[in-house]
Amino acid sequence: MQKIRNIAVIAHVDHGKTTLVDGLLEQSGTFGTHEQHDERAMDSNALEKERGITILSKNTAIRYKDHKINIIDTPGHADFGGEVERVLKMVDGVLVLVDAYEGVMPQTKFVVKKMLALGKKPIVVINKIDKPSAEPERVVDEMFDLFSDMDATDDQLDFPIIYAAARDGIAKLDMEEPDGNFECVFETIVNEIPEPEGSAENDFQAQVFTLDYDNYVGKIGISRIFNGTVNKGDQVALAKADGEIVKGRITKLIGFHGLNRMEIDQAEAGDIVAFAGMETVDVGDTVCDANNPVALDPMHIEEPTLTVVYAVNDSPLAGQEGKHVTSNKLKDRLEAEMRTNVAMKLEVIGEGKFKVSGRGELQITVLAENMRREGYEFSISRPEVIVKEIEGVKCEPFEHLVIDVPEDLSGTVIERLGKRKAEMKSMVPMGSGFQRIEFEIPARALIGFRGQFLTDTKGEGVMNHSFLEFRPYSGGVESRSYGALISMENGEALAYSLFNLQDRGVLFITPQTKVYEGMIVGEHARNNDLVVNAIKGKAQSNVRSSGADEAIKLVPPRDMSLERALEWIEDDELLEVTPENIRIRKKFLTEAERRRESRKTK
């Protein structure tokens, strides 16, 4: 029996999980002296590298003395909570990372609640102790209070504490000690995390928690072996969530070491391995003994709270920039996403229209961004919250919102949130002229708030939120307070017409941008929509005028990224997403159609 420890690294977004895993890989000697590796080596996806966040949970393995330590790096953003939930079932203990200045944040509470409920053994790592404003002792007290509030057991409350600056490879068990390396982290994992339960003598049972795909061997299921042993070439049974049993053979067995995967011939209880050969495998399925198939408990993932409609692009510029533009292609791609992403749901609601439900705007925009990079062209509607009926009462999701703002700007933010039905719960000074304010707020009130918040706090504010619970519906919420500038013509925008339009509001386009009737070219300075001509050129004449040689000076347009545009749009607007452009448009392109529709709704 191998000496194995299985741990997950959990924390709020940007508290240093991936950097800590880097340090563990580095100091365990997993990387050879000749091996080149990037910073945040575990963030392998292109979007993860660009944004500096972890989106998908990923596993690695290191050797420490005679132990094998399987480590799973998880996302910190609340929208990817589904990734964290399924991973926690696969491990026997967790490293809970907390920033030595920021302390307990919404996602820290979310992941700690899940971890305690599953009875996992925690090791608390107070990270970033090298920050000038770090207060590690305050953060330790916050963590103890959090564990107490969430009914941790006595064993869980007696958690070991490690103080670290993961970026510099420093860790120690006491703040008074001189800086040391990660030796104390490895020792604490080996001594405090329990050995995996289950026996190699029992019938084989493993559960799949992540999927991968390889062009040569097909679908790969990454799973934790709970009982028994498995060999390459074994006949096994796949127990699906609906009770169906599918027979198959393991054609490839893959083990992990550092960033490498290597083929192995055998694995046993307690280990985390990948296998190929079962094309119908899904997350949560049990791979078990073919002669005695016994399924493990299925995974419970919390329900989505937000929904958008993906549809075939039907604008005048449709099909000119994308490679995959038909409803069949769109459906196949969304179905493929649902197979690997258990926190999202898909529903076909009409010809070429698909309702996609997820945890939040970031999760939905990450999917949209990946699809546009793959050559897909489609439209997205404004996000809506999922409203449920619980015991005859109409209920909506509420979020726990934590904001850090400069003290002199907190009044403006509180006033804005008050109009959005937010209820203030606490206000604590954080030092350095900042205040931390906590609110409970309807999830739909946060749609479109981030851009306004950044403007109000001059870019210095930080906001984080996580799902709280479903509560009775709270009535109407203030939305966007400005109208749109809508193009009335098809053609290319000209500098002359944009120069005359910029007094009317903020533009989203530059000269030579292709526009069409019904496309939104900017934000109106007032609260009503305004139809404008963005393609009108200057009339030529033989008469020389005094203003003929005046230079046209254009204010730089507002850069509308996918997230920003999705937050900005209203119910009667759509986002047109292509590999080359993101355009905002009205659902009904002509003025006559919009008038007819507004009469219907009145």
Expressed as residue numbers, the domain containing 528 is 481-539+551-558
> According to the annotation, is 129 in a ligand binding site?
yes
Whether the pLDDT of residue 582 is over 50: the answer is yes
pLDDT band at 30 (very low <50, low <70, confident <90, very high): low
Task: Tell me which amino acid residue 70 is.
Answer: N
User: How far is the C-alpha of 93 from the C-alpha of 80, rounded, in Å?
Assistant: 20
The answer on 107 and 56 residing in a single domain is: yes
The answer to whether the annotation marks 16 as part of a ligand binding site is yes
- What does pTM read for this prediction? 0.76
Q: Is residue 49's pLDDT more than 80?
A: no
- Residue 570 tokens read as 């209203």
Same domain as 280, residue 218? yes
Query: Is 252 known as a binding-site position?
Result: no
Q: How confident is the model at residue 574 (pLDDT cuts 50, 70, 90)?
A: very high
Please indicate, yes or no, if residue 153 is contained in any of the structural domains: yes
11 lies in the same domain as 117: yes
Residue among 392, 391, 321, 381 nearest 357 (CA): 381
Please identify, among 289, 309, 330, the residue that sits at the C-terminal boundary of a domain.
289
Average pLDDT of the residues of the chain: 83
Q: Specify whether 464 is located in the same domain as 513.
A: no
pLDDT for 52 beyond 70: no
The annotation status of 127 as a binding-site residue, yes or no, is: yes
Q: Is 441 annotated as a binding residue?
A: no
Cβ-proximal residues to 595 (8 Å cutoff; 6+ apart), any chain: none
DSSP H helices in 81-204: 81-88, 106-117, 136-149, 154-157, 183-192
427 and 436 Cβ atoms separated by less than 8 Å:
yes
To the question of whether residue 345 is assigned a binding role by annotation, the answer is: no
Is residue 169 over pLDDT 50? Answer: yes
Q: What is the pLDDT of residues 54-108, one digit of tens each?
A: 555 677 888 888 888 888 887 766 666 667 777 888 888 898 889 888 888 877 8
Q: Is residue 174 part of a domain?
A: yes
Q: What is the per-residue pLDDT for 33?
A: 40
The enclosing domain of 37 has a CATH number of 3.40.50.300
User: Domain with 247 in it: what CATH number?
Assistant: 2.40.30.10
Per-residue pLDDT, 2:
63
**496 and 412 in one domain?**
no
109 lies in the same domain as 220: no
Please indicate, yes or no, whether residues 441 and 492 belong to a single structural domain of this protein: no
Q: SS3 sequence, 411-437?
A: HHHHHHHHHCCCEEEEEEEEECCEEEE
- Which of 145, 164, 192 is the last residue before a domain boundary? 192
Tell whether 277 and 421 lie within a shared domain. no
Domain shared by 15 and 132, yes or no: yes
Q: Is 130 annotated as a binding residue?
A: yes
Taking the alpha carbons at both ends of the chain, their separation in whole angstroms is 72
Give the domain CATH number at 441.
Answer: 3.30.70.240
For residue 89, list its beta bridge partners: none
Q: Determine, yes or no, domain membership for 381.
A: no
404 is in an annotated binding site: no
342, part of any domain: no
Q: pLDDT band at 486, cuts 50/70/90? A: very high
585 assigned to some structural domain: no
> From CA 144, how far away is CA 139, in angstroms rounded?
9
154 and 268 both lie in a single domain: no
The answer to whether 331 is annotated as binding is no
Residue 148 lies in a domain: yes
β-strand partners of 390: 393
Task: Report the 3 state secondary structure along 228-264.
Answer: CEEECCCEEEEECCCCCEEEEECCEEEEEECCEEEEC
Q: What is the pLDDT of residue 517?
A: 92
Please indicate, yes or no, if residue 243 is contained in any of the structural domains.
yes
Q: CA–CA separation, 416 vs 448, rounded Å?
A: 12
pLDDT on residue 34: 42
Check pLDDT > 60 for residue 42.
Answer: no
CATH number at residue 516: 2.40.50.250
End residue of a domain, out of 169, 192, 215: 192
Residue 384 lies in a domain: no
- How many CA atoms does the CB half-sphere of 64 hold within 13 Å? 23
Whether 78 and 227 share a structural domain: no
pLDDT tens readout for residues 303-362: 788 899 999 999 999 888 889 889 999 999 998 888 777 778 899 988 889 999 988 787
In terms of domains, do 144 and 227 share one? no
Q: Is 109 annotated as a binding residue?
A: no
DSSP-assigned beta bridge partners for residue 7: 71, 93
Tell me the C-alpha distance between 315 and 144, whole Å.
Answer: 55
Q: How many domains does the chain have?
A: 4
